[in-house]
Amino acid sequence: MSHVPPTTTARYSAWRERVRAGRVLVVGDVMLDRYWFGDAERISPEAPVPVVRIARTEERPGGAANVARNAAALGARTSLLSVVGEDEAGAAIERLVAADGIAASLHHDPSLPTTVKLRVIARQQQLLRIDFETRPSQEVLSAKLKEFGERLRDTDVVVLSDYGKGGLAHIAAMIGQARSAGCRVLVDPKGDDWGKYRGATLVTPNRSEFRDVAGRWRDEAELTAKAEAVRRDLELEALLVTRSEEGMSLYTAGGALHIPAQAREVYDVSGAGDTVIATTAALLAAGAPLADAVRIANEAAGVVVGKLGTAVVHPSELA
């Protein structure tokens, strides 16, 4: 496996100005991340669980909206296409992404409660997560597919953020349309049916997601062989496996490139995958080579895991 040292173009500063001209379209499952912070100083007399007295709350865009938020934070011209319900949570997502400078088109499904993930946190520890979710209707998804085709004319890189919530039922058609329009397509996968991602430019599973598809490996050589088999079978230009403390491994027709993890204190890994794919997309839209884009994305991941919950990385935080 290659361990080529990074070049000067693998520094974000070399691409910062060009990132601002890059056009990234994010499509996928959006959700509202809610955080309830408080103190847990006693156990309930009703059951052996802590009683949390809530002191403050926060709301942040989650899922594909967090991917878009990360790309926008780096300066890319970012659009978001998704589905929400006609409810308070959907309105909150629209308000939050607009504040982040994202050009969002959120189709409304009256029968769909917007996906919400509620986390209860006490003393910097997550005590509980509650999910509210329902799949969108096919009628709304078909309308979104039509708009997707229209938006490709003003897009350099498409990110398909699959959280398995039903918002990417037409993902195979989207990949075909985007590639025909000359757009590069990055996919954050979900589940073990990757046939629908055939023909994408880059698929970015984490270690566990890749293992579910390819099976276990005994050493680096076997991992490389499995990655190359998946890449060829799905006709991908590249496969990027994020490996937590082991860094990232990029597999292309030219071979394998391993990028060690950034030595930083890990506070919260939630949303790190969103940061990786968003950063890679923003750099590719700016014209950066894939290997350099991934190196910068690895650095961004090292920053974001030091923050609580779904968060973003700003240009000033990248060396």
pLDDT in tens, 23-67: 999 999 999 999 999 999 899 999 999 999 999 999 999 999 999
* 17's tokens: 């100005």
Q: What is the pLDDT of residues 179-238, one digit of tens each?
A: 999 999 999 999 889 999 999 999 999 999 999 999 999 999 999 999 999 999 999 999
Distance, first Cα to last Cα, the chain = 26
Any bridge partners for residue 78, and if so which? 24
Q: What is the pLDDT of residues 81-102, one digit of tens each?
A: 999 999 999 999 999 999 999 9
**With bands split at pLDDT 50, 70 and 90, how would you rate the model's confidence at 167?**
confident
Report yes or no: 85 and 113 within 8 Å, Cβ to Cβ.
yes
Q: Quick one: pLDDT at residue 186?
A: 98
* Annotation says 292 is catalytic: no
Report yes or no: 213 and 193 within 8 Å, Cβ to Cβ.
no
Q: Quick one: pLDDT at residue 267?
A: 56
Q: Quick one: pLDDT at residue 254?
A: 94
Residue 8 pLDDT > 70, yes or no? Answer: no
Cα(90)–Cα(156) distance, integer angstroms: 27
156-170 per-residue burial string, b: 16 or more CB within 10 A, e: under 16: bbbbbbbbebbbbbb
Report yes or no: 207 and 244 within 8 Å, Cβ to Cβ.
yes
Mean pLDDT of the chain: 91
Count of alpha carbons within 13 angstroms of residue 40, beta-carbon side: 18
Which one is catalytic: 33, 100, 188, 274?
Answer: 274
